[in-house]
Homo-oligomer: A and B are copies of this chain.
Amino acid sequence: MSVLVVGSIALDTVKTPVEEHTDQLCGSASYAAVGASFFSPVQLVGVVGDDFPEAEFEFWKSRKIDASGVQRVRGKTFRWSGEYAWDLNTHETRSVALNVFENFQPKLPEDFRKAEFVLLANIAPSLQSHVLDQVCRPRFVVADTMDLWIETTRKDLDALLPRIDLLILNDSEAREMTKDTSLIRAGRSIRRMGPKYVAVKKGEHGALLFGPDDFFSCGAYPLEDIHDPTGAGDTFAGGLAGYLAGQESEEVDFAQLRRAVIFGSVLASFNVEAFSLNRLRRLTMEEIEERYKMFRVMSQFEVLP
């Protein structure tokens, strides 16, 4: 089964205390689509300007990412520029130029409307809803969000929540959204706002998954060096949704979701090893499976005798 991915496509300039790279392929949909493509075919929806490198379309093709939903319009591609602090945990936005993204109205090609798995990568919740309006009968919808939408378009976000199956957000966003300092209570309250499942990303501390009757907690892969944290969350969402779409069973169950969270974490752990999508471009399925196994080793302990 393929997964429909919609989100932003951007050319970012990212500075860390060690390196700086200019006009690199970034954006939530870029990371999510490539992350998902390791597990299932992808239908990509987004917008780029006439300055967008043709080579990226070739790259998508090589990864079985159908980019017929990517509108190419006159003007410049969305650009973001930011600088990370020395601990790579916080960053400062230096500039944002929405450019062609400003008037983006996602329009699904006819054959994308039949999508069963949908990943609404991080964009305004009104756009996420607008995409859902065009999908005939989605079977499982994952949405990623961020503090900006919680703070500025909360009504739109609230309207989206009952329409999705899984919401992904990070720990501080879960706290902000519920005004609750307990992550456990926060995860459970967000479920009551609509989504059947909630995944809370905690960066170096791993992730939590809340379901109707189940709870899952996993650590993060023990990386010593992070080169560029940009897109880690988007890649997590992509790996997770791609893995679910790639399964053959009728229903998404909690056991699948646990594995999906691990695969999302694995993909994210690779992504931060290099700038932009550079690590994902040369990543292999063998490397992914190897790291999945490492996740098991690092989290295993025996039953009681």
Binding site for B on A (CB under 8 A): 86-89, 181-185, 188, 202, 204-206, 208, 215-220, 222-226, 255, 258-259, 261-262, 289, 292-293, 295-296, 298-304
A292: which of B181, B258, B295, B304 is its contact (CB, 8 Å)? B304
A215 to B224, CA, bound (A): 13
* B262 and A215 within 8 A (CB): no
Neighbouring B residues of A261 by C-beta, 8 Å: 301
Of chain B, the residue at the smallest CB distance from A299 is B299
* B182 and A217 within 8 A (CB): no
* A258 and B202 within 8 A (CB): no
When A222-B184, A224-B182 are in contact, do A301 and B206 touch as well, CB less than 8 Å?
no
A222 to B184, CA, bound (A): 6
Copies in the complex: 2
When A219-B208, A219-B217 are in contact, do A259 and B89 touch as well, CB less than 8 Å?
no
A302: which of B218, B226, B255 is its contact (CB, 8 Å)? B255
Of chain B, the residue at the smallest CB distance from A256 is B302
Distance in Å: Cβ of A59 to nearest Cβ of chain B? 27
A206: which of B217, B223, B225 is its contact (CB, 8 Å)? B217
* A206 and B219 within 8 A (CB): yes
With a 10 A CB-CB cut-off, give which of A183, A204, A205, A289 has the most chain B CB atoms: A205
When A184-B222, A184-B224, A223-B184 are in contact, do A301 and B216 touch as well, CB less than 8 Å?
yes
* B301 and A296 within 8 A (CB): yes
A181: which of B87, B181, B188, B219 is its contact (CB, 8 Å)? B87
Distance in Å: Cβ of A295 to nearest Cβ of chain B? 8
* A299 and B217 within 8 A (CB): yes
Neighbouring B residues of A226 by C-beta, 8 Å: 182
Distance in Å: Cβ of A205 to nearest Cβ of chain B? 4
A220 to B184, CA, bound (A): 10
* B224 and A301 within 8 A (CB): no
A285 to B30, CA, bound (A): 51
The 10 closest A-B pairs by CB, nearest first: A217-B219, A205-B205, A87-B181, A258-B301, A184-B222, A185-B224, A215-B298, A217-B298, A184-B224, A299-B299
Contact sample, A vs B, 13 pairs, CB 8 Å cutoff: A182-B204, A182-B223, A182-B224, A182-B226, A184-B224, A206-B206, A216-B299, A217-B219, A217-B222, A259-B302, A262-B301, A293-B303, A296-B301
